[in-house]
């Protein structure tokens, strides 16, 4: 079955530093979604990527979908304390949304 | 617009007890799913449904049952609770499996089995 691997599991950065999390799938993905979960909260949808090589930006967040549609990344430029949380990627297959293990980001002021 | 509503928010069960976690959505979404979240394990899919009357197993279905008699409701039943089922449970719904809005999650149910 489809497996989605995400690294790193944890990332501690100084405020202002950049942050990147990577997502890899064992199979070709039809699309990939990214979510953010604040501590104690529930996952909140950020974005969906569909096309091979697609790049989308949301303010300081840049999302990429690999050419082979088997990997993706989320890059945050100049992190802020409001970026704290766990970032998940998720791939869809036949109605199922399969999540990676997530990357927990902590930001030191 | 309530979105996805899960009840209860917290629950403590004794080993062997059964219970139902409730999930309701008011967005007329066809797709609904249950996940459990454990430290370091991410969100693991328990069961999902692509429409009323249709359910299927996810990654970790053992010990759980679901049914989908209406579009709005998707309850998750624990048949005989075990300590390994201590977790945070999330219900999610979406218009489709690749909608531009993604999945909407409930607030979660924190379950402890003693």
Q: State residue B3's pLDDT score.
A: 95
Residue A95 has pLDDT above 90, yes or no: no
Is pLDDT above 70 for B1?
no
Contact residues on chain B for A101, CB-CB shorter than 8 A: 40-42
The alpha carbon of B110 is separated from its chain's Cα centroid by a whole number of angstroms, namely 12
Alpha-carbon radius of gyration of chain B: 13
Q: Using pLDDT thresholds of 50, 70 and 90, give the confidence band for residue A1.
A: low
The predicted-structure confidence for B44-64, as pLDDT tens digits, reads as follows 999 999 999 999 999 999 999
pLDDT in tens, A18-28: 999 999 998 99
DSSP three-state, residue B83: helix
Which region among A42-46, A72-76, B40-44 has the lowest average model confidence (pLDDT)? B40-44
- Would you state the pLDDT for residue A96? 87
Percent share of chain B, pLDDT over 90: 89
pLDDT of res. B30: 93
**Segment A37-54 mean pLDDT:** 96
Of B18, B37, B22, B24, which Cα lies nearest the Cα of B80? B18
Q: Are residues B103 and A45, on separate chains, in Cβ contact within 8 Å? A: yes
Q: Which of B33, B58, B107 sits opposite A42 (nearest CB)?
A: B107
pLDDT tens digits, one per residue of B93-114: 998 766 677 999 999 999 999 9
At residue A2 the predicted structure's pLDDT band, cuts being 50, 70 and 90, is low
Q: In this model, does residue A10 exceed pLDDT 70?
A: yes
Q: What separation in angstroms does the CA of A54 have from each of A49, A57, A72, B100?
A: 7, 10, 10, 15
Distance from CA of B4 to the nearest CA of A (A): 11
Residue A9 and residue B40: Cβ atoms within 8 Å?
yes
- The answer to whether the CB atoms of A43 and B90 lie below 8 A apart is yes
Interface test mutation site (partner A, options B2, B38, B49, B98, max chain A beta carbons within 10 A): B98
pLDDT at A83 over 70: yes
Specify whether the CB–CB gap between B46 and B76 falls below 8 A: yes
Name the DSSP class of B73. B
Q: CB of A37 within 8 A of CB of A88?
A: yes
Name which of A30-34, B1-5, B67-71 the model is least confident about.
B1-5
* Structure confidence by residue, pLDDT tens digits, A54-66: 999 999 999 999 9
Alpha-carbon distance of A40 to B107, in angstroms, equals 9
pLDDT in tens, B26-37: 999 999 999 999
């Amino acid at each position: 079955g489809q497996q989605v691997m995400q690294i790193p599991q944890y990332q501690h950065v100084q405020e202002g530093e950049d942050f990147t999390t990577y997502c890899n799938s064992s199979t070709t993905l039809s699309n990939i979604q990214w979510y953010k979960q604040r501590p104690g909260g529930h996952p909140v949808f950020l974005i969906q990527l569909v096309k091979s090589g697609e790049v989308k930006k949301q303010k300081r967040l840049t999302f990429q979908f690999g050419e082979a549609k088997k990997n993706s990344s989320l890059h945050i430029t100049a992190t802020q304390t409001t970026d704290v949380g766990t970032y998940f990627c998720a791939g869809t297959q036949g109605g199922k949304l399969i999540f990676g293990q997530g990357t927990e980001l902590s930001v030191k002021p | 617009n309530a979105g996805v509503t899960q009840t209860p928010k917290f629950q403590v069960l004794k080993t062997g007890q059964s219970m139902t976690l409730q999930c309701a959505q008011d967005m007329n979404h066809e797709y609904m799913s249950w996940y459990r979240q454990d430290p370091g394990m991410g969100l693991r899919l328990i069961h999902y449904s692509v429409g009323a009357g249709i359910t299927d197993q996810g990654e970790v279905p053992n010990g759980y049952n679901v049914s989908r008699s209406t579009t709005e409701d998707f309850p998750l039943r624990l048949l005989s609770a075990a300590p390994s089922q201590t977790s945070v449970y999330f219900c999610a719904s979406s218009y489709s499996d690749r909608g531009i809005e993604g999945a909407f999650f409930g607030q979660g149910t924190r379950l402890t089995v003693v």
